[in-house]
């Protein structure tokens, strides 16, 4: 199944990398761009009771296809998987833009999300194919730009297009980007298909897909649509645990497992997955709730609260690109994950000290510390996993780490959300004892906050600040686990395994 190395010019590799950046930008933007457009979509299509599925369907489909498409790229070649993903994303975007009803929009979002999983996994695996490890570290640092940009630009772009054109252009804007990326990949990417006849692990695909589906729905619904102790949530949690266990057992005997169990026996790969999961939970998971803090405690509007994440994202980018350049220059990487976890812990501890008196500048500095810590390992863990994997398993290793980060983010959002909600419920009763205390779902709505009497609003702000302090304190043990795992990492020399390069 191992592909033979073939010459590729540096010019062709850079064109391909540019196409990958466009593909990654499309897929990551579509996970964030809809937030500001959803009210208008409901007003046009109706279906308020199904609104959450517009985002959940996309995330769910992406979570399922990321680990599967990585392995399919190993078996059938990266180029066909990437092109199928691009064409599927274009078709899904066009269909979403033309959707006549909410049900059709949700169905087309599944198509988009499934294609996005192919794009994400192909992006990381192909970067591993195109560049030798030390050079790859630099380019993977560049690729982190698209995720930081999409998290900030997504809501702004969605709001602008909705206000000045139509919510349908939130999807149509993908078409020129997708066409450019498809043309670039079709013209410049030339890698041979793996030799031999692949054997597809159908049982592993079904079990992993079902397990990820249960886990994603569990983290999406627990504490929001259903109570944590509801039969639905408990059934999803139990189903995810059972299915993951059965999947692990089945993979031990599969001829071509989706994620080869041998990867997890490698210490470097295991550490990469652990750090990725912790980084997803404590970096992206916490970042999801920070705008809520600024809106309720700081009294800023939704747009400004999103912009206040800029210090964190700028620091994340600086750290990610700096780490890539450091590895490119020295070939050393094994201390970076531990430094990432230690600095992230410092940032989280600083954030835990915030209260109603904390200024926006001070909060921005605290977030920058957390962002810098997260950036030191964001792309490094991918490099570590790819360096630990045999070439035939490069796609499985890449998508495995990325999927682990996604699952860590989802778990962090669910658990941290429950902590904030429960802690707020305790504090608001103590601070607003006369029966005027709003529920959490009302307290986060700007229109409700605006009409609260002064003393009640001050009680809400104080209760929120205390709830968020508890949230950050609860995240510290999670980072400690990541730090303990990172300290187990040993330096393994970066092994050149990419295609031969014609520098002409």
Which pLDDT tens digit goes with each residue over 389-409?
Answer: 888 888 888 888 888 888 888
Q: 123 pLDDT exceeds 90?
A: no
Q: 146 pLDDT exceeds 80?
A: no
Q: What is the mean pLDDT of residues 429-438?
A: 72
d(CA 58, CA 133) in angstroms, rounded, equals 32
Query: For 73-115, how does the pLDDT look when each residue is reduced to its tens digit (9 = 90+)?
Result: 888 888 899 999 999 999 999 999 999 998 999 999 999 999 9
List of domains in the chain: 9-197 (1.20.1250.20), 201-255 (no CATH), 257-493 (1.20.1250.20)
- Residue 455 has a CB neighbour count (10 Å cut-off) of 12
Q: 211 pLDDT exceeds 60?
A: yes
pLDDT of residue 444: 65
Q: 242 pLDDT exceeds 70?
A: yes
Which tokens hold the place of 502? 């014609």
User: H or E element: which one contains 502?
Assistant: strand 501-502
Cα–Cα distances in Å, from 293 out to 252, 363, 368?
45, 11, 16
Q: Is the dihedral of CA 8, 10, 11, 17 positive or negative?
A: positive
**Range of 187-191, 293-297, 334-338 with top mean pLDDT:** 334-338
Q: Residue 119 in contact with residue 66, Cβ under 8 Å?
A: no
Pick the more confident residue, 187 or 436.
Answer: 187
432 pLDDT band (50/70/90 cuts)? confident
Non-local (6+) Cβ contacts of 148 within 8 A are 313, 314, 316, 317
pLDDT of residue 483: 95
Which tokens hold the place of 427? 């504090």
pLDDT of residue 339: 94
pLDDT of residue 370: 92
Percent of all residues in the chain with a pLDDT value above 90, rounded to a whole number: 25
d(CA 42, CA 52) in angstroms, rounded, equals 11
Q: 244 pLDDT exceeds 70?
A: yes
pLDDT of residue 3: 41
Q: What is the mean pLDDT of residues 359-377?
A: 91
Give the angle 222-226-232 at the CA atoms, nearest 5°. 85
User: H or E element: which one contains 165?
Assistant: none
- Residue 434 has a CB neighbour count (10 Å cut-off) of 8
Q: What is the mean pLDDT of residues 425-436?
A: 76
User: H or E element: which one contains 9?
Assistant: strand 8-9
Q: 498 pLDDT exceeds 70?
A: no
Q: 475 pLDDT exceeds 50?
A: yes
Q: 4 pLDDT exceeds 70?
A: no
* Mean predicted lDDT score pLDDT of the chain: 84
Cα–Cα distances in Å, from 334 out to 252, 292, 377, 453?
29, 35, 10, 54
pLDDT of residue 210: 92
Lowest pLDDT segment from 26-35, 178-187, 250-259, 494-503? 494-503
Q: 477 pLDDT exceeds 90?
A: yes
Q: Residue 286 in contact with residue 416, Cβ under 8 Å?
A: yes
What is the CA 202 to chain-centroid distance, rounded?
26
pLDDT of residue 6: 47
Q: What is the mean pLDDT of residues 346-371?
A: 91
Q: 196 pLDDT exceeds 90?
A: no
């Amino acid at each position: 199944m191992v592909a033979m190395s073939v010459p590729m010019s540096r010019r062709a590799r850079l064109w391909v990398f540019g196409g990958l950046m466009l593909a990654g930008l499309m897929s990551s933007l579509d996970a964030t761009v809809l937030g500001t457009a959803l009210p208008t979509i409901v007003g046009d299509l109706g279906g308020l009771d199904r609104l959450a599925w517009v985002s959940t369907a996309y995330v769910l489909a992406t979570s399922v296809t990321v680990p599967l498409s990585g392995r399919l790229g190993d078996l059938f070649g990266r180029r066909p998987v990437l092109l199928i993903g691009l064409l599927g994303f274009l078709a899904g975007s066009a269909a979403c833009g033309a959707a006549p009803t909410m049900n059709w929009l949700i169905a087309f979002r599944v198509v988009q999300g499934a294609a996005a999983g192919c794009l994400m996994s192909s992006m990381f695996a192909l970067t591993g194919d195109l560049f030798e490890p030390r050079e790859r570290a630099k380019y993977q640092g560049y690729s982190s730009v698209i995720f930081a940009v999409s998290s900030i630009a997504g809501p702004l772009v969605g709001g602008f297009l909705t206000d000045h054109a139509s919510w349908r252009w939130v999807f149509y804007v993908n078409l020129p980007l997708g066409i450019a990326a498809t043309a670039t990949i079709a013209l410049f990417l030339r890698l041979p298909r793996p030799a031999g006849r692949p054997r597809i692990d159908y049982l592993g695909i079904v079990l992993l897909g079902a397990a990820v589906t249960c886990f994603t729905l569990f983290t999406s619904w627990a504490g929001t649509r259903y109570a944590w102790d509801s039969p639905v949530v408990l059934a999803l949690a139990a189903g995810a645990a059972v299915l993951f266990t059965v999947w692990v057992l089945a993979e031990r005997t599969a001829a071509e497992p989706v994620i080869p169990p041998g990867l997890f026996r490698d210490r470097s790969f295991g550490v990469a997955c652990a750090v990725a999961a912790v980084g997803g939970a404590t970096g992206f998971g916490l970042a999801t709730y920070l705008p809520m803090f600024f809106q309720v405690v700081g009294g800023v509007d939704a747009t400004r609260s999103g912009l206040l994440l800029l210090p964190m994202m700028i620091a994340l980018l600086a750290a990610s690109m700096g780490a890539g350049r450091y590895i490119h220059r020295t070939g050393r990487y094994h201390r970076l994950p531990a430094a990432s976890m230690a600095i992230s812990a410092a940032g989280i501890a600083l954030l835990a000290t915030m209260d109603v008196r904390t200024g926006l500048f001070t909060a921005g500095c605290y977030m920058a510390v957390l962002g810098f810590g997260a950036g030191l390992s964001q792309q490094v863990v991918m490099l570590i996993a790819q360096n630990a994997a045999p070439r035939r398993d490069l796609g499985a290793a890449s998508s495995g780490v990325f999927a682990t980060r996604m699952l860590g983010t989802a778990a962090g959002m669910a658990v941290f959300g429950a902590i904030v909600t429960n802690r707020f419920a305790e504090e608001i009763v103590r601070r607003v004892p006369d029966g005027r205390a709003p529920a959490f779902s009302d307290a986060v709505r700007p229109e409700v906050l605006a009409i609260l009497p002064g003393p009640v609003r001050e009680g809400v702000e104080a209760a929120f600040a205390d709830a968020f302090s508890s949230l950050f304190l609860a995240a510290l043990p999670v980072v400690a686990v990541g730090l303990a795992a990172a300290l187990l990492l040993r330096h393994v020399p970066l092994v050149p395994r990419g295609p031969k390069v014609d520098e002409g």
